[in-house]
Amino acid sequence: MITRLLVETDLERVRAICKRHYDINEPDFSKFISVVVITQDDGQILGFGGVELLPEATIFMNKDAPALSRGKALKKLLIVAETSCILGQHSHLHAFVDSEDETWIRALESYAFKEVKQKVLILRVDQDG
């Protein structure tokens, strides 16, 4: 097996894999930090991927403040987060929420956040792990 950077000549085969197995044309590789391809020695692509920048809304609220004021502050924080995504040319903003915090979930859903079908997994990669 060979691990190498994705090159333009791979794109046709990458598109075919995406269309056949994932129902998309291809990922937007401009949003990736790096993209690699794993091939057989004969050049057959076994897989490809990389690390995509994933904008996440990280918001902390003062729970001692009145609920109405917190709601208005949340809306302003989300406008700033959404604008930051637009300026950074990101098409999605993620928010990871405690699944038992129904109030927070409803607040974000009222701002048009949607639940994703995929299960979210995380891998800790820092040295202090």
pLDDT(129) > 60: no
| Cβ-proximal residues to 62 (8 Å cutoff; 6+ apart), any chain | 70
**pLDDT at 87 (0 to 100):** 92
More confident residue, 129 or 93: 93
Q: What proportion of the chain, given as a percentage, has pLDDT over 70? A: 98
4, pLDDT greater than 80: yes
pTM over 0.85: no
Lowest mean pLDDT among 46-60, 69-83, 115-129: 115-129
Mean of the per-residue pLDDT values of the chain: 89
| Banded model confidence at residue 117, pLDDT cuts 50, 70, 90 | confident
**Residue 44's pLDDT band (cuts 50, 70, 90):** very high
Question: Could you tell me the two tokens for 85?
Answer: 């995504």
* pLDDT surpassing 90 at residue 49: yes
Is 29's pLDDT higher than 90? no
Query: Distance between CA 124 and CA 129 in Å, rounded?
Result: 7
Strand segments, DSSP code E, in 14-123 are 32-39, 45-52
